[in-house]
A = this chain, B = another copy of it.
Amino acid sequence: MTKRIAEILRSGEPDDALTVQGWVRTKRELKDFAFLEINDGSSMGNLQVVLSPEMSNYQEVVKGLNTGASVELTGVLVASPAKGQRIELKASTCELLGESDPETYPLQKKRHSFEFLRTISHLRSRTNTFGAVFRVRNAAANAIHQFFQERGFLWVHTPILTASDCEGAGEMFAVTNFNLKEPPRTKSQDIDYSQDFFGKPAFLTVSGQLEAEVMAMAFSNVYTFGPTFRAENSNTSRHLAEFWMVEPEMAFCNLKGDMDLAEAFLKYIFKFVLETCPDDMEFFNQRIDNTVLATADNIINNQFERITYTEAVSLLEKASKTFEFPVKWGLDLQSEHERYLAEELFKKPVIVTDYPVGIKAFYMRLNDDNKTVAAMDILAPKIGEIIGGSQREERLDVLESRIQKQGLALDDYWWYLDLRRYGTVEHAGFGLGFERLVQFMTGMQNIRDVIPFPRAPMTIDF
Protein backbone atom coordinates (compact mmCIF):
# COMPACT_ATOMS: atom_id res chain seq x y z
CA MET A 1 0.00 0.00 0.00
CA THR A 2 1.39 3.37 -1.03
CA LYS A 3 1.42 5.93 1.75
CA ARG A 4 2.47 9.53 2.07
CA ILE A 5 5.25 10.25 4.51
CA ALA A 6 3.22 12.61 6.70
CA GLU A 7 0.79 9.79 7.34
CA ILE A 8 3.54 7.23 7.99
CA LEU A 9 5.24 9.50 10.52
CA ARG A 10 1.94 10.25 12.21
CA SER A 11 0.36 6.82 12.44
CA GLY A 12 2.67 4.16 11.01
CA GLU A 13 3.33 1.17 13.32
CA PRO A 14 6.09 -1.42 13.38
CA ASP A 15 5.39 -4.32 10.96
CA ASP A 16 3.27 -2.15 8.64
CA ALA A 17 4.16 -3.21 5.09
CA LEU A 18 4.10 -0.34 2.64
CA THR A 19 5.43 1.43 -0.42
CA VAL A 20 6.69 4.97 -0.32
CA GLN A 21 7.71 7.37 -3.10
CA GLY A 22 9.70 10.54 -2.73
CA TRP A 23 12.96 12.33 -3.20
CA VAL A 24 16.29 11.66 -1.50
CA ARG A 25 17.32 14.39 0.92
CA THR A 26 20.47 12.69 2.22
CA LYS A 27 22.29 9.40 1.93
CA ARG A 28 24.77 7.94 4.42
CA GLU A 29 26.73 4.88 3.46
CA LEU A 30 28.10 2.75 6.31
CA LYS A 31 30.08 -0.43 5.94
CA ASP A 32 27.16 -2.84 6.08
CA PHE A 33 24.22 -0.80 4.97
CA ALA A 34 23.03 2.66 3.91
CA PHE A 35 20.62 5.18 5.36
CA LEU A 36 18.37 7.42 3.26
CA GLU A 37 16.26 10.36 4.30
CA ILE A 38 13.23 10.52 1.98
CA ASN A 39 10.84 13.45 1.62
CA ASP A 40 7.66 13.69 -0.47
CA GLY A 41 6.61 17.23 0.48
CA SER A 42 3.75 16.10 2.70
CA SER A 43 5.64 17.06 5.85
CA MET A 44 8.75 18.68 7.22
CA GLY A 45 9.87 15.31 8.55
CA ASN A 46 11.73 12.84 6.38
CA LEU A 47 11.26 9.10 6.50
CA GLN A 48 14.48 7.32 7.39
CA VAL A 49 15.06 4.24 5.26
CA VAL A 50 17.55 1.44 5.88
CA LEU A 51 18.91 -0.26 2.79
CA SER A 52 20.55 -3.60 3.32
CA PRO A 53 23.20 -5.09 0.98
CA GLU A 54 21.02 -8.18 0.69
CA MET A 55 18.96 -6.21 -1.78
CA SER A 56 19.82 -7.51 -5.26
CA ASN A 57 20.45 -4.09 -6.79
CA TYR A 58 22.09 -2.63 -3.65
CA GLN A 59 25.32 -1.43 -5.24
CA GLU A 60 23.62 0.16 -8.20
CA VAL A 61 20.87 1.99 -6.32
CA VAL A 62 23.12 3.23 -3.54
CA LYS A 63 25.38 4.72 -6.17
CA GLY A 64 22.47 6.52 -7.86
CA LEU A 65 20.61 7.67 -4.74
CA ASN A 66 22.05 11.15 -4.54
CA THR A 67 20.35 14.22 -3.12
CA GLY A 68 17.38 15.11 -5.31
CA ALA A 69 16.95 11.70 -6.90
CA SER A 70 13.46 10.19 -6.96
CA VAL A 71 12.87 6.75 -5.59
CA GLU A 72 10.24 4.12 -4.82
CA LEU A 73 10.78 1.89 -1.82
CA THR A 74 8.89 -1.08 -0.44
CA GLY A 75 9.44 -2.61 2.96
CA VAL A 76 8.19 -2.82 6.53
CA LEU A 77 8.28 -0.25 9.30
CA VAL A 78 10.42 -0.99 12.33
CA ALA A 79 10.89 0.89 15.58
CA SER A 80 13.84 3.19 15.10
CA PRO A 81 16.81 2.83 17.45
CA ALA A 82 17.96 6.32 16.49
CA LYS A 83 17.08 9.47 18.39
CA GLY A 84 14.50 11.90 17.00
CA GLN A 85 12.30 9.43 15.17
CA ARG A 86 9.78 6.84 16.20
CA ILE A 87 9.94 4.54 13.20
CA GLU A 88 11.94 3.88 10.09
CA LEU A 89 11.48 1.82 6.95
CA LYS A 90 13.46 -1.36 6.41
CA ALA A 91 13.42 -1.54 2.63
CA SER A 92 13.16 -4.83 0.77
CA THR A 93 13.08 -3.32 -2.71
CA CYS A 94 14.29 -0.01 -3.99
CA GLU A 95 13.74 1.45 -7.42
CA LEU A 96 15.69 4.50 -8.53
CA LEU A 97 13.17 6.50 -10.62
CA GLY A 98 15.04 9.61 -11.64
CA GLU A 99 18.68 10.46 -11.05
CA SER A 100 20.10 13.75 -9.83
CA ASP A 101 23.67 14.44 -10.85
CA PRO A 102 25.56 15.54 -7.71
CA GLU A 103 27.96 17.52 -9.90
CA THR A 104 25.25 19.82 -11.25
CA TYR A 105 22.22 19.63 -8.91
CA PRO A 106 22.05 23.11 -7.38
CA LEU A 107 20.64 22.03 -4.00
CA GLN A 108 23.49 20.46 -2.13
CA LYS A 109 23.50 19.78 1.58
CA LYS A 110 25.02 23.10 2.58
CA ARG A 111 22.73 26.01 3.40
CA HIS A 112 21.95 28.32 0.51
CA SER A 113 21.04 31.99 0.81
CA PHE A 114 17.42 32.95 0.09
CA GLU A 115 18.76 35.31 -2.60
CA PHE A 116 20.39 32.41 -4.41
CA LEU A 117 17.33 30.22 -3.99
CA ARG A 118 15.17 32.90 -5.67
CA THR A 119 17.23 32.34 -8.82
CA ILE A 120 16.13 28.70 -8.77
CA SER A 121 12.50 29.16 -7.75
CA HIS A 122 11.70 26.00 -9.71
CA LEU A 123 13.74 23.96 -7.21
CA ARG A 124 13.60 25.89 -3.95
CA SER A 125 10.35 24.25 -2.80
CA ARG A 126 12.45 21.12 -2.28
CA THR A 127 14.26 22.72 0.67
CA ASN A 128 13.08 22.56 4.28
CA THR A 129 12.35 26.26 4.50
CA PHE A 130 10.32 26.59 1.33
CA GLY A 131 8.56 23.30 1.93
CA ALA A 132 7.41 24.72 5.24
CA VAL A 133 6.50 28.11 3.75
CA PHE A 134 4.22 26.66 1.10
CA ARG A 135 2.58 24.16 3.43
CA VAL A 136 1.81 27.03 5.83
CA ARG A 137 0.62 29.15 2.92
CA ASN A 138 -1.78 26.38 1.86
CA ALA A 139 -3.02 25.89 5.42
CA ALA A 140 -3.66 29.62 5.83
CA ALA A 141 -5.51 29.77 2.51
CA ASN A 142 -7.58 26.76 3.49
CA ALA A 143 -8.34 28.36 6.87
CA ILE A 144 -9.59 31.49 5.10
CA HIS A 145 -12.06 29.53 2.99
CA GLN A 146 -13.23 27.44 5.93
CA PHE A 147 -13.72 30.50 8.14
CA PHE A 148 -15.96 32.23 5.63
CA GLN A 149 -17.81 29.17 4.35
CA GLU A 150 -18.71 28.11 7.90
CA ARG A 151 -20.28 31.55 8.35
CA GLY A 152 -22.32 31.44 5.14
CA PHE A 153 -20.17 33.85 3.13
CA LEU A 154 -20.02 33.29 -0.63
CA TRP A 155 -16.65 33.27 -2.37
CA VAL A 156 -17.13 35.70 -5.26
CA HIS A 157 -14.75 36.02 -8.19
CA THR A 158 -14.38 39.70 -8.91
CA PRO A 159 -12.76 40.64 -12.22
CA ILE A 160 -9.00 40.89 -12.75
CA LEU A 161 -9.41 42.94 -15.90
CA THR A 162 -11.05 46.31 -15.35
CA ALA A 163 -11.72 49.43 -17.37
CA SER A 164 -11.79 51.65 -14.34
CA ASP A 165 -8.45 53.26 -13.60
CA CYS A 166 -9.97 55.10 -10.68
CA GLU A 167 -10.04 52.56 -7.89
CA GLY A 168 -7.59 54.82 -6.17
CA ALA A 169 -5.52 52.11 -4.49
CA GLY A 170 -2.36 52.46 -6.56
CA GLU A 171 -0.75 52.45 -9.97
CA MET A 172 -2.16 50.02 -12.49
CA PHE A 173 -0.74 47.83 -15.24
CA ALA A 174 -2.23 48.31 -18.69
CA VAL A 175 -3.50 45.30 -20.63
CA THR A 176 -3.73 45.35 -24.39
CA ASN A 177 -4.01 43.21 -27.46
CA PHE A 178 -2.26 45.78 -29.63
CA ASN A 179 1.05 45.32 -31.35
CA LEU A 180 2.87 47.96 -29.30
CA LYS A 181 5.13 48.80 -32.19
CA GLU A 182 2.33 50.24 -34.27
CA PRO A 183 -0.95 50.52 -32.41
CA PRO A 184 -3.86 52.05 -34.34
CA ARG A 185 -4.15 55.80 -33.88
CA THR A 186 -6.91 58.33 -34.23
CA LYS A 187 -6.64 61.31 -36.56
CA SER A 188 -5.17 63.31 -33.72
CA GLN A 189 -2.51 60.61 -33.21
CA ASP A 190 -3.93 59.38 -29.93
CA ILE A 191 -4.07 55.64 -29.40
CA ASP A 192 -7.34 54.38 -30.89
CA TYR A 193 -8.55 52.21 -28.04
CA SER A 194 -11.84 51.57 -29.78
CA GLN A 195 -9.86 49.03 -31.82
CA ASP A 196 -8.35 47.28 -28.80
CA PHE A 197 -9.78 44.00 -27.48
CA PHE A 198 -12.16 45.62 -25.02
CA GLY A 199 -12.81 48.78 -27.02
CA LYS A 200 -11.31 50.95 -24.29
CA PRO A 201 -8.20 51.07 -22.09
CA ALA A 202 -8.00 48.04 -19.77
CA PHE A 203 -6.04 47.51 -16.56
CA LEU A 204 -5.24 44.89 -13.95
CA THR A 205 -7.32 45.32 -10.82
CA VAL A 206 -5.86 46.75 -7.61
CA SER A 207 -8.84 45.66 -5.49
CA GLY A 208 -12.07 43.71 -5.83
CA GLN A 209 -13.83 45.78 -3.19
CA LEU A 210 -16.22 47.79 -5.34
CA GLU A 211 -17.44 44.65 -7.11
CA ALA A 212 -17.58 42.79 -3.79
CA GLU A 213 -19.94 45.52 -2.55
CA VAL A 214 -22.19 44.74 -5.52
CA MET A 215 -22.33 41.11 -4.48
CA ALA A 216 -22.86 41.92 -0.79
CA MET A 217 -25.94 43.93 -1.79
CA ALA A 218 -27.45 40.69 -3.10
CA PHE A 219 -25.98 37.95 -0.88
CA SER A 220 -25.34 39.91 2.36
CA ASN A 221 -21.99 38.28 3.13
CA VAL A 222 -19.31 37.62 0.53
CA TYR A 223 -15.54 37.52 0.22
CA THR A 224 -12.97 37.71 -2.53
CA PHE A 225 -9.70 35.80 -2.50
CA GLY A 226 -7.67 36.36 -5.61
CA PRO A 227 -4.71 38.07 -7.24
CA THR A 228 -4.35 41.85 -7.33
CA PHE A 229 -1.68 44.03 -8.89
CA ARG A 230 0.40 47.16 -8.32
CA ALA A 231 2.61 48.72 -10.97
CA GLU A 232 4.62 50.61 -8.36
CA ASN A 233 8.33 50.57 -8.85
CA SER A 234 9.02 49.49 -5.26
CA ASN A 235 11.96 47.17 -5.16
CA THR A 236 11.64 46.32 -1.47
CA SER A 237 11.25 43.27 0.73
CA ARG A 238 7.62 44.26 1.43
CA HIS A 239 6.20 44.83 -2.06
CA LEU A 240 5.10 42.57 -4.89
CA ALA A 241 3.67 43.55 -8.27
CA GLU A 242 1.33 40.54 -8.06
CA PHE A 243 -0.09 39.39 -4.75
CA TRP A 244 -3.19 37.70 -3.34
CA MET A 245 -5.74 39.60 -1.36
CA VAL A 246 -8.74 38.61 0.78
CA GLU A 247 -11.63 41.09 0.91
CA PRO A 248 -14.79 40.23 2.85
CA GLU A 249 -17.79 42.52 2.50
CA MET A 250 -20.84 42.38 4.78
CA ALA A 251 -24.24 44.01 4.37
CA PHE A 252 -26.12 45.06 7.50
CA CYS A 253 -22.80 45.55 9.24
CA ASN A 254 -21.16 48.57 10.85
CA LEU A 255 -17.58 49.26 11.93
CA LYS A 256 -17.99 47.33 15.17
CA GLY A 257 -19.17 44.23 13.30
CA ASP A 258 -16.28 44.68 10.88
CA MET A 259 -13.73 44.73 13.71
CA ASP A 260 -15.33 41.75 15.43
CA LEU A 261 -15.15 39.72 12.25
CA ALA A 262 -11.57 40.74 11.49
CA GLU A 263 -10.39 39.82 14.98
CA ALA A 264 -12.15 36.44 14.90
CA PHE A 265 -10.73 35.88 11.42
CA LEU A 266 -7.09 36.44 12.39
CA LYS A 267 -7.42 34.27 15.49
CA TYR A 268 -9.02 31.49 13.44
CA ILE A 269 -6.26 31.44 10.81
CA PHE A 270 -3.44 31.36 13.35
CA LYS A 271 -5.12 28.59 15.35
CA PHE A 272 -5.78 26.59 12.22
CA VAL A 273 -2.18 26.83 11.01
CA LEU A 274 -0.73 25.93 14.42
CA GLU A 275 -2.96 22.88 14.54
CA THR A 276 -2.36 21.68 10.99
CA CYS A 277 1.34 22.58 10.58
CA PRO A 278 2.92 22.24 14.04
CA ASP A 279 6.27 20.96 12.74
CA ASP A 280 6.56 23.70 10.14
CA MET A 281 5.76 26.39 12.71
CA GLU A 282 8.28 24.87 15.11
CA PHE A 283 10.86 25.00 12.33
CA PHE A 284 10.24 28.70 11.69
CA ASN A 285 10.53 29.43 15.37
CA GLN A 286 13.85 27.58 15.60
CA ARG A 287 15.46 28.57 12.35
CA ILE A 288 13.92 31.76 10.99
CA ASP A 289 12.54 33.95 13.78
CA ASN A 290 12.31 32.80 17.38
CA THR A 291 9.30 35.02 18.06
CA VAL A 292 6.79 33.53 15.63
CA LEU A 293 5.19 31.14 18.10
CA ALA A 294 4.94 33.85 20.75
CA THR A 295 3.39 36.17 18.16
CA ALA A 296 0.83 33.55 17.16
CA ASP A 297 0.03 33.01 20.82
CA ASN A 298 -0.31 36.77 21.31
CA ILE A 299 -2.82 37.01 18.45
CA ILE A 300 -4.86 34.01 19.52
CA ASN A 301 -5.08 34.70 23.24
CA ASN A 302 -5.41 38.47 23.55
CA GLN A 303 -8.45 40.59 23.06
CA PHE A 304 -7.33 43.19 20.53
CA GLU A 305 -7.03 46.71 21.92
CA ARG A 306 -9.39 49.17 20.23
CA ILE A 307 -8.53 52.88 20.20
CA THR A 308 -9.44 55.79 17.98
CA TYR A 309 -6.91 57.52 15.76
CA THR A 310 -7.31 60.61 17.96
CA GLU A 311 -6.42 58.58 21.05
CA ALA A 312 -3.51 56.98 19.19
CA VAL A 313 -2.10 60.39 18.27
CA SER A 314 -2.40 61.52 21.84
CA LEU A 315 -0.58 58.39 23.09
CA LEU A 316 2.17 58.87 20.53
CA GLU A 317 2.60 62.51 21.51
CA LYS A 318 3.01 61.44 25.12
CA ALA A 319 5.53 58.72 24.25
CA SER A 320 9.01 59.16 25.66
CA LYS A 321 10.33 57.77 22.41
CA THR A 322 11.54 60.04 19.59
CA PHE A 323 10.15 59.18 16.18
CA GLU A 324 11.68 59.85 12.81
CA PHE A 325 8.37 61.07 11.35
CA PRO A 326 6.20 63.73 12.97
CA VAL A 327 3.08 62.85 14.95
CA LYS A 328 0.28 65.29 14.48
CA TRP A 329 -3.50 64.97 14.18
CA GLY A 330 -4.25 64.81 10.44
CA LEU A 331 -1.07 63.04 9.39
CA ASP A 332 -1.08 59.35 8.60
CA LEU A 333 0.53 56.96 11.08
CA GLN A 334 3.90 55.67 9.96
CA SER A 335 5.18 52.16 10.44
CA GLU A 336 7.29 53.24 13.44
CA HIS A 337 4.18 54.67 15.12
CA GLU A 338 2.13 51.58 14.41
CA ARG A 339 4.83 49.31 15.76
CA TYR A 340 5.26 51.44 18.90
CA LEU A 341 1.57 51.12 19.68
CA ALA A 342 1.37 47.38 19.08
CA GLU A 343 4.80 46.26 20.27
CA GLU A 344 5.81 48.62 23.02
CA LEU A 345 2.68 50.22 24.41
CA PHE A 346 -0.03 47.56 24.24
CA LYS A 347 2.16 44.55 23.46
CA LYS A 348 -0.68 42.99 21.47
CA PRO A 349 -2.72 43.73 18.33
CA VAL A 350 -4.34 47.13 18.29
CA ILE A 351 -7.25 48.28 16.16
CA VAL A 352 -7.10 51.97 15.39
CA THR A 353 -10.39 53.48 14.22
CA ASP A 354 -11.88 56.73 12.96
CA TYR A 355 -9.09 58.23 10.90
CA PRO A 356 -9.14 61.80 9.53
CA VAL A 357 -11.25 62.02 6.39
CA GLY A 358 -8.37 63.65 4.52
CA ILE A 359 -6.10 60.63 4.56
CA LYS A 360 -8.61 57.89 3.71
CA ALA A 361 -10.45 56.70 0.60
CA PHE A 362 -13.66 58.28 -0.64
CA TYR A 363 -15.83 55.23 0.04
CA MET A 364 -15.26 55.19 3.81
CA ARG A 365 -18.25 56.33 5.82
CA LEU A 366 -18.12 59.89 7.12
CA ASN A 367 -18.63 60.08 10.88
CA ASP A 368 -21.04 62.57 12.46
CA ASP A 369 -18.11 64.80 13.45
CA ASN A 370 -17.56 65.45 9.72
CA LYS A 371 -13.82 65.18 10.41
CA THR A 372 -13.24 61.45 10.63
CA VAL A 373 -14.33 58.32 8.77
CA ALA A 374 -15.38 54.91 10.07
CA ALA A 375 -12.11 53.25 9.08
CA MET A 376 -10.09 50.71 11.01
CA ASP A 377 -6.56 49.37 10.71
CA ILE A 378 -5.32 46.38 12.64
CA LEU A 379 -1.73 46.84 13.78
CA ALA A 380 0.17 43.77 14.89
CA PRO A 381 3.40 43.50 16.84
CA LYS A 382 6.39 42.98 14.53
CA ILE A 383 4.65 43.83 11.26
CA GLY A 384 2.50 46.94 11.63
CA GLU A 385 -0.68 47.11 9.57
CA ILE A 386 -2.00 43.69 8.70
CA ILE A 387 -5.66 44.49 7.93
CA GLY A 388 -7.31 47.69 6.73
CA GLY A 389 -11.04 48.13 6.53
CA SER A 390 -13.99 50.43 6.92
CA GLN A 391 -17.69 50.87 7.05
CA ARG A 392 -18.67 52.05 3.58
CA GLU A 393 -20.55 55.27 2.84
CA GLU A 394 -24.10 54.09 2.19
CA ARG A 395 -25.70 57.57 1.83
CA LEU A 396 -26.02 58.59 -1.82
CA ASP A 397 -25.64 62.32 -1.30
CA VAL A 398 -22.63 62.04 1.00
CA LEU A 399 -20.91 59.58 -1.33
CA GLU A 400 -21.49 61.77 -4.38
CA SER A 401 -20.04 64.73 -2.58
CA ARG A 402 -16.96 62.74 -1.44
CA ILE A 403 -16.32 61.50 -4.99
CA GLN A 404 -16.53 64.99 -6.38
CA LYS A 405 -14.33 66.48 -3.67
CA GLN A 406 -11.61 64.03 -4.67
CA GLY A 407 -11.83 65.27 -8.25
CA LEU A 408 -13.26 61.99 -9.52
CA ALA A 409 -16.04 61.77 -12.10
CA LEU A 410 -19.48 60.66 -10.89
CA ASP A 411 -20.14 59.02 -14.25
CA ASP A 412 -17.34 56.53 -13.66
CA TYR A 413 -19.16 55.31 -10.57
CA TRP A 414 -22.72 55.10 -11.93
CA TRP A 415 -23.13 51.44 -10.96
CA TYR A 416 -21.46 51.90 -7.59
CA LEU A 417 -23.81 54.78 -6.86
CA ASP A 418 -26.82 52.66 -7.93
CA LEU A 419 -26.10 50.46 -4.90
CA ARG A 420 -26.97 53.51 -2.76
CA ARG A 421 -29.97 54.37 -4.93
CA TYR A 422 -31.73 51.04 -4.61
CA GLY A 423 -32.03 49.37 -1.23
CA THR A 424 -28.89 50.82 0.32
CA VAL A 425 -27.80 49.36 3.65
CA GLU A 426 -25.05 49.83 6.19
CA HIS A 427 -22.15 47.69 5.09
CA ALA A 428 -18.50 47.18 5.86
CA GLY A 429 -15.49 45.14 4.89
CA PHE A 430 -11.75 44.85 5.07
CA GLY A 431 -8.72 43.78 3.10
CA LEU A 432 -5.92 41.43 4.06
CA GLY A 433 -2.75 41.14 2.00
CA PHE A 434 -2.27 37.39 1.99
CA GLU A 435 1.51 37.39 1.53
CA ARG A 436 1.93 39.86 4.39
CA LEU A 437 0.00 37.43 6.56
CA VAL A 438 2.21 34.50 5.54
CA GLN A 439 5.31 36.63 6.18
CA PHE A 440 3.96 37.50 9.59
CA MET A 441 3.22 33.88 10.45
CA THR A 442 6.49 32.43 9.28
CA GLY A 443 8.90 35.23 10.14
CA MET A 444 10.24 35.23 6.57
CA GLN A 445 11.93 38.58 6.01
CA ASN A 446 11.36 39.00 2.28
CA ILE A 447 7.87 38.88 0.80
CA ARG A 448 9.35 37.27 -2.35
CA ASP A 449 10.00 34.17 -0.28
CA VAL A 450 6.38 33.47 0.62
CA ILE A 451 4.91 33.28 -2.91
CA PRO A 452 6.02 30.52 -5.28
CA PHE A 453 7.02 32.72 -8.23
CA PRO A 454 7.39 36.37 -7.17
CA ARG A 455 6.74 39.25 -9.58
CA ALA A 456 8.47 42.56 -8.90
CA PRO A 457 10.32 45.19 -10.93
CA MET A 458 12.60 43.38 -13.40
CA THR A 459 11.50 40.06 -11.87
CA ILE A 460 9.25 37.77 -13.92
CA ASP A 461 11.19 34.54 -14.38
CA PHE A 462 9.54 31.09 -14.37
Mark A residues whose CB is within 8 Å of B.
2, 4, 6, 21-24, 40-42, 68-70, 72, 97-101, 104-105, 120-123, 125-126, 130-131, 134-135, 137-138, 141-142, 145, 149, 152, 154-163, 171, 173-178, 180-181, 183, 189-191, 197-200, 202, 204, 211, 214-215, 217-220, 226-227, 229, 231, 233, 241-242, 244, 251-252, 394, 415-416, 418-426, 451-453, 455, 457-462
B452 touches A157 (CB 8 A): yes
Min C-beta distance of A4 to chain B, whole Å: 6
A460 touches B131 (CB 8 A): no
B218 touches A131 (CB 8 A): yes
By a CB distance below 8 angstroms, the chain B residues around A423 are: 23-24, 68-70, 97-100
Most chain B C-beta atoms within 10 Å of own C-beta, residue among A24, A155, A420, A451: A155
A217 touches B126 (CB 8 A): yes
A-B contact pairs, 5 of them (CB 8 A): A97-B425, A98-B420, A134-B219, A198-B241, A214-B452
10 nearest A-B pairs in the assembled complex, by CB-CB distance: A41-B219, A98-B424, A125-B218, A122-B415, A70-B423, A198-B460, A138-B154, A21-B252, A199-B458, A100-B422
Contact of A42 (CB < 8 Å), options: B72, B152, B177, B204: B152
Contact of A174 (CB < 8 Å), options: B68, B120, B176, B226: B176
Contact of A242 (CB < 8 Å), options: B40, B160, B425: B160
By a CB distance below 8 angstroms, the chain B residues around A415 are: 120-122, 461-462
Contact of A180 (CB < 8 Å), options: B159, B161, B174, B227: B174
Min C-beta distance of A172 to chain B, whole Å: 9
Smallest CB-CB separation from A210: which chain B residue?
A: B462
Smallest CB-CB separation from A141: which chain B residue?
A: B155
By a CB distance below 8 angstroms, the chain B residues around A121 are: 214, 415
Contact of A220 (CB < 8 Å), options: B40, B120, B161: B40
By a CB distance below 8 angstroms, the chain B residues around A455 are: 159, 161, 198
B458 touches A122 (CB 8 A): no
A159 touches B453 (CB 8 A): yes
Min C-beta distance of A383 to chain B, whole Å: 20
Known contacts A156-B452, A198-B457, A460-B162; A98 and B394 CB within 8 A of each other: yes
B422 touches A105 (CB 8 A): yes
Min C-beta distance of A102 to chain B, whole Å: 10
Contact of A173 (CB < 8 Å), options: B105, B177, B214, B451: B177
Bound state CA distance, A189 and B181, in angstroms? 8
Known contacts A174-B180, A458-B199; A152 and B215 CB within 8 A of each other: no
By a CB distance below 8 angstroms, the chain B residues around A426 are: 97
Smallest CB-CB separation from A181: which chain B residue?
A: B191
Contact of A125 (CB < 8 Å), options: B97, B101, B214, B416: B214
Contact of A122 (CB < 8 Å), options: B41, B178, B214: B214
Bound state CA distance, A175 and B204, in angstroms? 9
Smallest CB-CB separation from A204: which chain B residue?
A: B175
Min C-beta distance of A5 to chain B, whole Å: 9
Min C-beta distance of A454 to chain B, whole Å: 8
A424 touches B97 (CB 8 A): yes
B42 touches A98 (CB 8 A): no
A159 touches B218 (CB 8 A): no
Bound state CA distance, A143 and B138, in angstroms? 16
Min C-beta distance of A278 to chain B, whole Å: 16
Bound state CA distance, A252 and B97, in angstroms? 10
Known contacts A198-B458, A200-B460, A424-B70; A134 and B176 CB within 8 A of each other: no
Known contacts A218-B41, A460-B202; A211 and B452 CB within 8 A of each other: yes
Contact of A422 (CB < 8 Å), options: B98, B157, B177, B251: B98
Min C-beta distance of A138 to chain B, whole Å: 4
By a CB distance below 8 angstroms, the chain B residues around A98 are: 394, 420, 422-425
Known contacts A70-B423, A457-B198, A460-B198; A42 and B241 CB within 8 A of each other: no
